[in-house]
Structure 1
């Protein structure tokens, strides 16, 4: 299964495990709530989906990478205690609280969340001394004598042997006590995530043209050669930084992330070509509504990968607009909810309500919202009334409206160019498909609409010829690769 399917399976399992009867008892007994074991390549997003699942299910998450731990940190440190057996007193060994189990209780105390996920990564790559402890944990849900609290679901993850020589195979006894899910890489699934994360358009377009280069692992006489989804995403951050600094994106730098010399060289060449296309096709002019006849003439005669690259350039620019608009829209909605709740309150109650609204927010993820709410508090403490807060809020709404108009105008301009250059063609199919894949695009369109998107989405993607068109695209790609065009 792919990572998206695994995410849904885990969510379904959590809902089932946490379901209770009329007496408040778990319908699936805790002993029968099998730990979930994910086996898949590194960098595929196993940790990321745990964070998403915890947020979507409104439960906690405590995560550990087991290769960073020893037997002592897992089960606790030994200590000598006295026990009486058969009327005689003996010294016996017990263990201090497991660091891992203790962290679950600490998390419960600090967040007031009684249910959650305990996620243990790289569980099949632990040291020899820790391996028996991990087997006991998967079988009995305990570290030493310390049990995982009820309401906490165990999810463990590991890599297949071809990715890590330290991998230890689990025996049948252990596997018969877990829910094992084998995850494989899937570019089409990752692409949706990548659009949402803002992965650099050059990477997105390159991998669209050469999907086989998304994940590769080779063993050679000189060692491993590989590239993973994590490598591409981290490379994206570095490319953006280099571009802001005005520094060159070199093959040497790329090779530090894409640790496969042939692929690093190939992407370096494509990146240079991508930037050439960006200059030649005047993407910003297209976004402003200006279409040069010579640009249209060139793209009509261009080879297939050049057309894909231009579509990628358009999508990259549009996604910047969509992300900015959707993030601002979410921010404004959050502000509106808070302001609506304090509108009729006297100042002292409004201040207390603002404190209550700030308390559960994440300091990092919600930093801007927190800063704005503190500004609202400052105005109230200075004696200003609700109208002052309303005026501040209206400025945020004005910015949102401007972002919405800009995104809409750019989307219409992109359709103008696509119609002028390609009409109702397979290139338009690709453009619509990319919009459908992009969550920021879909969020924007679902809220604000786009008549031409609806027209082409229905007419080109969801009719009886869709499969044939996509098959033609695949055949054209293979033909272009064969002919070197």
Structure 2
């Protein structure tokens, strides 16, 4: 068997890998005028992603499935036995050349059955079958995985047409159980090598709201984002998954006013020095939030003592202050984005209903039917995993608002639209106050570059800026984000 690491695959970050898989899905699912797949299934090479653990391989599969509006069945194959993957044997009588024989056959593979169950539950006939840790299976399951990649079958059952196979695994340096793929297998897959990349992960982190203190720490210490080291005491490591899981815990602990100890952090950040460093930074981050009065700055009420302190502060403290401002703005604009999405869905519902209404006499029955259909569609989207949980909750709020008498619902919609307008105005004021402060204390130095850059990659803020004018953002975005000045400042940041 050959070395998979020498397969000559392309090196990509997780974002590039996502785009490659997404393009492949679109290509494999494209059909000709006769409704047949342009690339027949036998020529649809499975995609094999090999990269360090915890970089987000499963998350990008979920994103691709939602964006392409197809199903997703995901398995971590190391959790399965040969029986669950291939099926259980049973004896069946068959007749050959006039004689009866007992023949061993197999029940349907649990994995193949899951694909059919997904299609039945969601109505989605196409999708991604994602098998993780495919090169870390037991010796008894290894031939089954090779057969799966080469023949697109588990046991004697084929993967249904319209389901694209994507597999993932870890390089041998991260897992002692890794098995190499032979040349025959590698010649039947599309091999992609994935590398950890903090700047790419940060875009995702902003989108899912990783704890701001952790992002602030990583801005100052990007080299600590992904580390795998071995010393006399064993392996020390930090992964993207570790940061995300720690973020979720921190938010819950803070909401419940529970103490976050260095030991708790060490349960996610398996590198003693980094865990100690993160714990110390979290304490500083909370202290700076109180000392600088971030909410006062966003309200335009900056204390004179704050100006003096930030002028005298070192670079790390100044960047932390910028990140605290971004954190405060993210909360404000997240509320605005949620309200805007709710009003938008509400408006679309009312617009569709008005299209279907033919007379005032049938208004009540038609309206109730439209509300019922909205509720059904919402549940279908949830069951199909075509929307995120947060989007489902917004639809639940819309459903509460649209139930009742049509005229009352219209009056309520008008009030909610006015509420959204008020929220957007208030958010815009806070953004301007933040710009005033950053401009006063940092001018157009590195701190302003960080501030403007983070605004552009924070989804809720960037979407607001795309639809609403902010003069100072436009000025500094043009000044700092283009040309040689941007390159110069980025090099200064890297030093």
| Range of TM-score over shorter length | over 0.9
Cα offset, 1:427, TM superposition: 1.6
Q: Partners in 1 of 2:398 and 2:326 — Cα distance?
A: 32
TM-score, normalising length: structure 2: 0.91
- Displacement of 1:403 in angstroms is 2.6
Q: Pick from 39, 46, 58: which aligns with 1:35?
A: 46
Alpha-carbon distance, 1:374 to partner: 5.2
Q: Which residue of 1 aligns with 2:366?
A: 349
Give yes or no for the alignment of 1:465 onto 2:465: no
Unaligned runs of 5+ in 1: 476-485
2: CA distance between counterparts of 1:330 and 1:215? Answer: 35
Q: Which residue of 2 aligns with 1:478?
A: none
The answer as to 2:403 corresponding to 1:392 is no
Q: How far off its partner does 1:429 sit?
A: 1.2
Residue 334 of structure 1 corresponds to which residue in structure 2? 345
In 2, distance between residues paired with 1:68 and 1:199?
A: 28
Instruction: Say if 1:371 and 1:466 are closer, same or farther in 2 by CA, change over 3 A.
Output: closer
Q: CA deviation at 1:171?
A: 1.3
SS at match of 1:465: helix
Matched, 1:268 2:279: yes
Q: Which residue of 2 aligns with 1:376?
A: 402
- The answer as to whether partners of 1:70 and 1:130 remain within 8 angstroms in 2 is yes
1:252 match: 263
Q: For 1:141-220, list aligned pairs within 5 A.
A: 141-220=152-231
SS at match of 1:41: coil
**Which of the residues 23, 34, 59 maps onto 1:23?**
34
Q: 1:229 aligns with which of 240, 243, 246?
A: 240
Among 443, 450, 464, the alignment partner of 1:444 is: 464
- Contact 1:80/1:93 (<8 A) preserved: yes
**Deviation for aligned residue 1:300:** 2.1
- Counterpart check, 1:102 vs 2:113: yes
Q: Size of the alignment, in residue pairs?
A: 469
TM superposition shift of 1:6: 0.6
The CA RMSD measured in Å over matched residues stands at: 1.5
Does the Cα contact within 8 Å between 2:130 and 2:166 map onto a contact in 1? yes
Superposed, 1:111-126 pairs within 5 Å as: 111-126=122-137
Q: By how many angstroms is 1:172 displaced?
A: 1.4
SS of match in other structure, 2:228: strand
SS in 2 for 1:453: helix
**What's 2:475 paired with?**
455
Q: What is the SS of the residue equivalent to 2:54? A: coil
Aligned residue among 420, 425, 430 for 1:410: 430
Contact 1:195–1:440 at 8 Å: present in 2 too?
no
Q: Within 1, Cα distance between the matches of 2:191 and 2:416?
A: 48
Structure 2 contact 342–397 (Cα < 8 Å) conserved = no
Conserved? CA contact 1:78–1:96, under 8 Å: yes
Alpha-carbon deviations, 1:394-433, whole Å to 9, x = none? 3432332233123211111100101110112222111111
CA shift for structure 1 position 375: 5.5
Cα distance between partner residues in 1 of 2:74 and 2:372: 29
Q: Do 1:195 and 1:319's aligned partners in 2 also have CA atoms closer than 8 Å?
A: no
3-state secondary structure, aligned to 1:291? coil
Residue 451 of structure 2 is aligned to residue 431 of structure 1 = yes
CA distance in 2, matches of 1:459, 1:26: 49
Task: Give the Å deviation of 1:222.
Answer: 2.7
Measure, in 2, the Cα distance between the counterparts of 1:376 and 1:11: 36
- The match for 2:9 is none
Cα displacement (A) at 1:291: 2.0
1:66, CA displacement in angstroms? 0.8
TM-score by length of 1: 0.93
C-alpha separation in 2, matches of 1:328 and 1:129: 53
Deviation at 1:3, TM superposition (A): 0.7
Separation (CA, whole Å) in 2 of partners of 1:66 and 1:95:
19
Contact 1:318–1:410, Cα closer than 8 Å, also in 2: yes
